[in-house]
Amino acid sequence: MKLLLSAYACEPDKGSESGVGWHWVLELARLRHDVWVLTRANNQQTIQRVSPDLPNVRFVYYDLPNWVARLKKRAPILHLYYVLWQWGAYRTARELHRQEQFELVQHVTFGVFRHPSFMGRLGIPFIFGPVGGGERTPFRLRMDYGIKGHLLDAVRDLTNVFATWNPWLHETFGAADVILVKTPHTGMALPRRYRHKVRHIIEIGASGAAASPQPPPHDRGIRFLFVGRFLFWKGMQYGLRAFARLLHDVPSARLTMVGAGPEGRRWRRLCQTLGIAHAVDWTDWMHQAELGSMYRSHHVFLFPSLHDSSGGVVLDAMSYGLPVVCFDLGGPGVLVTENSGIAVTTARQGRQQLVAALAEAMKVLADQPDTLRALQRGALARARELTWATVVRQAYDGWHRPAP
């Protein structure tokens, strides 16, 4: 199949959106499709280092004028910049389509349902997504956000509501033959008239699972690990309180916090208040290639995120055989099964109940070595199941244009 990917973010050796765009390109190339990729011009240098190894992939680079690109560093203008880029990318794609006659076009990144794509105007089958962004933190779990967190999540909620009135988004949803969503929450955030087009798909894959992970010795105490940005919605205000409860019963337990961000100082103060600073280790942000040793030196991954759409670090941790303790919210709640971790149920549960439930899940893994080993095997199996090849193939195998 001759297809065009719109991938604003697409770079090798990167995580997040750039990594998603790149891995979708790789896997579609491995499926022997004739792939054309429309992406930003500032991705060109890193892509050209590896693109000779992709003979059936062609990259087309487009960007707005430099004076416009400089404005995107100002947050209020960033969204306008992105819409302008999408419009310019469509005009570039239109000329390209006249020459190449593509059979299918897909918008891959950014993967947020609030951001429009104009690729449906090409008049060929159009896949929009995978997209997320419809996940919401329950109001009762926002009490520990702080003023800034409350404001930011309120703005996010309002933006999601206003998105359903955006005529450009209605055009995008209407033109799409299939709308791929990362979580059921995003599917429900779409206007009802388009939900028949929705397919849920996990957008991320494991690059590779360890053949036979060797968990560290358990006799010196169970070791929990958090990796991620230190942001209010990552939920570690609950994770730290749960860990404090665990320490009362399992004083040898330890927690490692890897990352950086605006909540770091607040979380450190919370550790002091809870009296657990002696059992918590802090490590600055690490490159992806360096994280392997960190995963191998821990037993369990703690990730109580409140509205992640994906959760790439969750899948990374499972690929090293770490079972995950999380909430049943967003992407982590989809990724983690009963055989690969413990996803704490949040429905009709208050903050204190959820802290207690997180602590109890951690205690089960600390007190029951057989359960821990079983979930370690299950985490590894889950990672092997969710490879990038499997994820992308599921999106395309047997694809056909749905009947109107």
Q: Please tell me the distance from the alpha carbon of residue 280 to that of residue 141, in angstroms, as a whole number.
A: 23
DSSP 3-state percent helix, strand, coil across the chain (nearest 5): 50, 15, 35
Q: Is residue 65 over pLDDT 70?
A: yes
pLDDT digits (tens, 9 = 90+) for 81-90: 888 899 999 9
Mean pLDDT of 31-35: 88
Q: Classify the phi-psi angles of 323: left when phi > 0, otherwise alpha if psi is within -120 to 50, otherwise beta.
A: beta
Element (H, E) at 37: strand 34-40
- Tell me, rounded to whole angstroms, the distance of Cα 137 from its chain centroid: 16
Domains of the chain: 2-205+387-396 (3.40.50.2000), 223-385 (3.40.50.2000)
DSSP 8-state symbol, 401: P
For 301-322, what is each residue's pLDDT tens digit? 999 999 888 888 899 999 999 9
What is the pLDDT at residue 204? 85
Q: What is the pLDDT of residues 164-176, one digit of tens each?
A: 899 999 999 999 9
Which residue is it, tokens 């395309």? Answer: 396
What's the chain's average pLDDT? 88
pLDDT of residue 215: 63
Predicted TM-score (pTM) of this structure:
0.86
104-109 vs 126-131, strand pairing mode: parallel
Q: Smallest Cα–Cα separation from 324: which of 234, 225, 237?
A: 225
Q: What is the DSSP letter of 112?
A: B
Rounded average pLDDT over 66-76: 66
- What's the CA gap between 134 and 179, in Å, rounded? 13
Per-residue pLDDT reduced to its tens digit, 100-146: 999 999 999 988 899 999 999 999 999 998 999 888 888 888 877 77
